[in-house]
Each structure stands twice: as structure tokens, then as C-alpha cells.
Amino acid sequence: MTHTDPQLHGVDPRVAGGRLTVDLDALAANYRFLAEQSTPAEAGAVVKADAYGLGTGPVVEALVAEGCRKFFVALPEEGLAVRASAPEADIYVFNGLFSPEAAAFYREGRLLPVLNSQSDLSIWEAHGWDDEDAPRPCALHVETGMNRLGLTPERAKIVAQENALTGALTPRLIISHLACADTPDHPMNRQQLESFQALGALFPDAESSLANSAGIFLGGEFLCDVTRPGVALYGSNPMNGTVNPMQSVASVHARIAQLRHVPAGATVSYGATPVGRDTLIAVTAVGYADGYHRSGSGAGVPLRTAQPVGSHGYIEGRRVPVLGRVTMDLTLFDVTDLGLDTLQVGDFIELMGSNLPMDELASACGTISYELLTSLGHRFERHYVRSGDHI
């Protein structure tokens, strides 16, 4: 089936400059694989930032169908969006409580805050909602070396002692976050695990969660009770220096707006990049306003001095290089070797997908796949594909 809700499809396909296709079968397969790798732990799913840019509703529906019952977001508004597609799930909100007024959002969606500080603890104790059989359900984040969010070890010990007496809060989950899990032999991994195990033991009635996408592949004790796969669900390789075990989920295509010949010695785009031969250019209607990063330009950006090769497109079985600088709404590709008779205005060039993995594009742009996915703009025509449908 293909989703038909026009709000999911973005711009009308007759006028869209680009197309984003999300393969929900591949997403489901990735979840099943990560759940298997997580055994005996339960696999949740991180769907913050609009499911990493791919659309909360369709992504969450597909994951619920695969049996996912724990979701993680950054902000309560994201949690409310998840709740619409997962009425029975546990939904945890990472970034805590900013004010007493924020508690109303959690109550509305029966969201579970991740408490990161004494302020969070005080607000939730005073303003949180009660479960049928337990007061103020929540998660606690303990700091083990990331130094981003989380209760210090000293504060966590005090909280454990005080809450054992008062029972004011019901911690359902104790979490921390690995800083270097994508590098398996990094000593930080073992240090964090040992610190987390000691702090988790202070809350014997709560489940524990430490492993992100990369942490799942550390296996063993790192799996704890619940894993939190994120970027791997969407097709990115979670581990450095290994073959990617994940299926490609997102593909991005740009529409050709114009085909033009330029002679050798002419210049193209901002900064006047010279071309060394008679060149056929495909001008496509996607640029950095759509999340196709300027840093992936073929020339004229600082990254090209450190990494000479820029981004590529893929069309008619060939890779074609970006020519000159990516601009806000347009990107140029050198399609000379394909010939004018092969292409026409309205054709699509793949920017990212099964032929151009997102991790490769990220490397060409000097960034990571997380940033690519979450940068995808709202000017794309969107397709959600399942069960053999092809666009």
C-alpha cells in the first residue's frame, strides 16, 4: 500500500522539484534485524526530529505493526505526534521539563519524561500525572561520561535514597547514552557501562537502557533491558569501518529543470567554476534549502581542499558529478557522458538511495547521515511505499 494522505505527500508531484521516497518495508526489516540483535533485550525506537526527517506518522505506524512498544523523542510535541499513531505505547521524552507548565503536555499525551536534573525532579513530583497503580511514572537519565544531560552520580544516589522513603516518583526506566559506541574498542564504552551498572543498581525496580544503534552491536551487557535504535532504523551504518548491515530506507531524487550546453572554458554557478570540456549540464530543482548540503559542492567550498571529490547523482546507470557550487534551489550535474538524447526536462536524478548510500553522501558533505536525514526539507513530493509498490 501507499499512503494517500495529502499532508504526507508534501508538494504536488506536478510541480515538486524533488521526490523523497520512504521504503517502509525496509524500515520494518531494519527494525526486525535490530530487535533480533537486541535479544534478550526489548528494542524500542528513536523517532525524534520527525522520525529523522522521514515522517512520524508513517514511520511509527510501520514500527507498531512490527511490535515496537517503546518510543523515544526529544520534545513533548513530538511525543504527542507519536501518540496519535501509537495509542498503547510507552513514549519517553529525552529533553526533560523546561517549566511547570510543560507538565500539561505530558499529561495530555500520557508521555513519560526523562528527568535529567533536580529541577526536572521537582517539577514532575509537583505537577506530573499518576498512573493507575504508581505515582509520577518517569525515566531517569544518569550521567556516565557524555556530560550533556543527566543526573550526576552523586545526585542519582541521593534521589534513590529519598525516593525509597517517599515513593513520590516511579522510575520505569534508567537510561544513559554512549559517547563512542560506533568505535567498539574505545575504552570509554567499558567505562560508561560499569558506571551505568553501578547507578542502575540503585533503582532495582526499573528497567535499564544504554545501547543506541551502535551500542546494540557491542552486544552482551550493553544491551541491558531496552535498546534504543535510531539512525540504523533509517538505513545508516551504525558502526565505523564495517559493511553496512542495514537496508536503504530513504531515497531522494531531484527533477531536471533544464539541460544546457556550455563550451570548454566557460564558468558555472556562484564563484565561476571553470569547465574543462564542452559540457552538458543537467540543472536540477533541489538545493541546500531542501537539505542537499552546499558543502557537497563539486568546487568552491572549503571542504574540497580537504576532500577533493564532491557529491554525485545517479541516472541511467551512471554516476554524474555535481558541477560547481550547490545553490539554494538548484544543483548542477555534469551529464556529458550520457548525451542529450538520453535525458529530458522532468527526468529525475537520484541524490541519495540504493545507488548512492546516505553515508557516502554524508562523507562527501563532511557530515554524518543524521544531519542529512534531519535536514530534508518540506518541498519534496513524498512517497511511502510498502508491500512491493513502486513509484
Residue type (1 letter), 73: V
Whole-number Å distance between alpha carbons of 210 and 219: 11
Among 48, 70, 106, 292, the active-site one is 48
pLDDT attached to residue 305: 82
pLDDT attached to residue 3: 39
Domain with CATH 2.40.37.10 in the chain: 250-385
pLDDT attached to residue 299: 86
- Give the length of the chain: 391
Give residues with Cβ within 8 angstroms of 316, minimum separation 6: 338, 342, 343
pLDDT attached to residue 8: 57
pLDDT along the chain (391 residues), means of 10: 46 91 98 98 98 97 98 97 97 95 94 97 96 93 96 96 94 97 96 97 97 97 98 95 94 97 96 96 98 92 82 96 97 95 96 96 94 95 81 38
CATH superfamily for 40-234 is: Alanine racemase (3.20.20.10)
150, 114 Cβ separation under 8 angstroms: no
Closest of 245, 271, 282 to residue 359, by C-alpha: 245
pLDDT attached to residue 5: 42
Looking at domain 250-385, which of 2.40.37.10, 3.30.300.10, 2.60.40.790, 3.30.1950.10 is its CATH number?
2.40.37.10
**Is 148 labeled as ligand-binding?**
yes
**Is 19 labeled as ligand-binding?**
no
234 is known as an active-site residue: no
Closest of 279, 251, 252 to residue 264, by C-alpha: 279
Domain with CATH 3.20.20.10 in the chain: 40-234
pLDDT attached to residue 132: 85
pLDDT attached to residue 133: 84
11, 380 Cβ separation under 8 angstroms: yes
Whole-number Å distance between alpha carbons of 113 and 136: 10
48 is known as an active-site residue: yes
Among 52, 92, 270, 314, the active-site one is 270
Side-chain half-sphere CA neighbours of 383 within 13 A: 19
Whole-number Å distance between alpha carbons of 224 and 260: 58
210, 225 Cβ separation under 8 angstroms: no
pLDDT attached to residue 309: 82
Give residues with Cβ within 8 angstroms of 133, minimum separation 6: none
Whole-number Å distance between alpha carbons of 365 and 291: 11
382, 8 Cβ separation under 8 angstroms: yes
